[in-house]
Chains A and B, each alone.
Chain A
Amino acid sequence: MTERELIEQLKQGEETAFKTIVEQWKDMVYNTVLGIVQNETEAEDITQDVFIKVFENISSFKGESKFSTWLYKIATSKALDFLRSRKRKKRFGFMKSLFGNGHEEEPQLADFYHPGVKLDNKERSVVLFKAIGKLPENQKAAFTLHKLEGLSYQEISEVLNTTVSAVESLMSRAKVNLRKELEEFYNQNYK
């Protein structure tokens, strides 16, 4: 069955078409979300959200872009929404600790091990993911899509609704920021 046929069937509410779509694209969506949120449980929940949104909004997909691009768009925006809400909660927690009894501790993010990273790179990737976590939203999304999903700058520009030159600039700024962050880290921790 072709992609177009699948989408047409999904528009008619066919469950089998939906199942095929989920099975075919679940790893792509999960990997994208996981790279951005850096937590496996949250990534699974968001992946479910993404596919529910696909099911509910398939009628708005006109086929002007590739279906995978549309999926990347939803996955990226859901993952970034989640990060925003996590940041809001953190801020609220901080305010509570100011006005509370001072015992509330700010939750620290655990080290993130991506399951697909080569064994020799595991420790270094933890340091890199920590640095990626500190990047601004768009830089984070562009860098993750490029590094983890192997998307070209052209494809990233379609996902992020921007131009190729804007993506180039996002990527170069991301690399500068990461270098800065890593330099700081290794200056403190290098023996």
Chain B
Amino acid sequence: MSSNTTTMTNKEQIQQEIERTLLSLDETKRAEANPFLFTRIMARMQRQNGWEKITSFISRPAIALSALIVVMGVNALVIFNPGTRETSQTESIAVSGITDEYNMTFATISDYENTEENELYQK
């Protein structure tokens, strides 16, 4: 009997709590926006305008096409220019000269194998 009464009271209390919660937003004051909102909006609009100008300039067909031609031209120049090949050859000669002089050659697995074999033969 007593547990029934407790359950009833609990249910009633929960119902009361629900009603109070539903009314908890009554008489709520309006939240205030940032006092510098206008300045921030203007700054954002200017930023957007700057980007819009840049993107609209880049996306113009004439600009995009000429940029593409320039990039392809530079690529072709690098690939087919004989001067570049000579430079790379001279560079590789210079590099191998330095590695020889300072004994900077890297040993490979076959070098190790050969060493072991040589040691065996020597014994």
Which residues does A use to contact B, with CB under 8 Å? 15, 18-19, 22-23, 26-31, 34, 44, 47-48, 51-52, 55, 114-118, 121, 124-125, 127-128, 147-149, 175, 178-179, 182-183, 186-187, 190
Query: How far, in whole Å, are A147 and B29 apart by their CA atoms in the complex?
Result: 11
The reply to whether B41 and A125 contact each other, CB–CB distance below 8 Å, is no
Instruction: Say whether B24 contacts A125, CB under 8 Å.
Output: yes
Q: Please, which residues of chain B bring their CB within 8 A of the CB of A18? A: 38
Contact B17–A125 (Cβ < 8 Å): no
CB-CB under 8 A from B17, the residues of chain A are 124, 182, 186, 190
Q: Tell me, yes or no, whether B13 is within 8 Å of chain A by CB.
A: yes
Shortest distance in angstroms between B12's beta carbon and chain A's nearest beta carbon? 11
Binding site of B, secondary structure by majority: helix, strand, loop or mixed?
Answer: helix
B33 at the interface (CB under 8 A from A): yes
Residues of A within 8 A of B108 (CB): none
Q: Is the CB of B44 within 8 A of A31?
A: no
- A179 in contact with B37 (CB, 8 Å): no
Decide if A147 touches B18 in the complex (CB within 8 Å). no
A87 → chain B closest CB, angstroms: 23
Q: Cβ of B14 and Cβ of A117 under 8 Å apart?
A: no
CA distance A178 to B91 in the complex (A): 77
30 CB contacts below 8 A, A to B, read: A15-B42, A23-B38, A26-B33, A27-B31, A27-B32, A30-B37, A31-B30, A31-B31, A52-B45, A55-B45, A116-B28, A117-B24, A121-B25, A124-B17, A124-B20, A124-B21, A127-B21, A128-B21, A128-B22, A128-B24, A147-B25, A147-B26, A147-B28, A182-B18, A182-B21, A186-B18, A187-B14, A190-B10, A190-B13, A190-B17
Contact A19 B32 (CB under 8 A): no
**Complex alpha-carbon distance, A114 and B45, angstroms:** 29
Chain B interfacial positions (CB closer than 8 Å to A): 10, 13-14, 17-18, 20-22, 24-34, 37-38, 40-42, 44-45, 48
Say whether, besides A116-B29, A183-B18, A52 and B44 are in contact (CB < 8 Å). yes
Given contacts A27-B30, A48-B44, list 11 more A-B pairs with CB under 8 A: A22-B37, A26-B33, A27-B33, A44-B37, A47-B33, A118-B28, A125-B28, A147-B25, A183-B14, A186-B17, A190-B14
The answer for the CA separation of A95 and B27 in the assembled complex, in Å, is 42
Contacts of B24 in A (CB 8 A): 117, 121, 124-125, 128
